[in-house]
Amino acid sequence: MHIVSRKALREFWEKYPDSKHALQTWYTSVKHSTWKNPSDIKSTYHTASFLANNRVVFNIKGNQYRIVVVVQYKFGNVFIRFVGTHREYDRIDATTI
């Protein structure tokens, strides 16, 4: 999958250094994946949540952090829309971000 943009992950782990390893692991895993539909994601990320507008929420580091992405299955793109703490996630509308 092509991930846009890694910069969001890097900026987050600079603010929360304990997230770096988990975010790098997620990035590498997704980059080497080929998702054609939600079940492909679910087979690897059992706790992923699927929302409207092709949004997928990933729990990172024991649900301490969250990533919200938009997946374009047809083109193999993953757009990072949000990286944040669980508390920050609770303050957004993940279906529109």
Per DSSP, what are the bridge partners of residue 80? 69
Q: What is the pLDDT of residues 5-56, one digit of tens each?
A: 889 999 999 999 999 999 999 999 999 999 999 999 999 999 999 999 999 9
Give the chain's end-to-end CA distance (angstroms, integer): 21
Q: How far is residue 11's CA from residue 43's CA, in Å, rounded to a whole number? A: 28
pTM of the model: 0.93
**By C-alpha distance, which of 30, 1, 10, 2 is closest to 83?**
10
Measured CA to CA in angstroms, residue 63 lies from 60, 85, 90 at distances of 5, 9, 12
Domain map of the chain by residue range? 2-89
CATH 3.40.50.300, domain 2-89, yes or no:
no
- Taking 90 as the threshold, does the pLDDT of residue 91 lie above it? yes
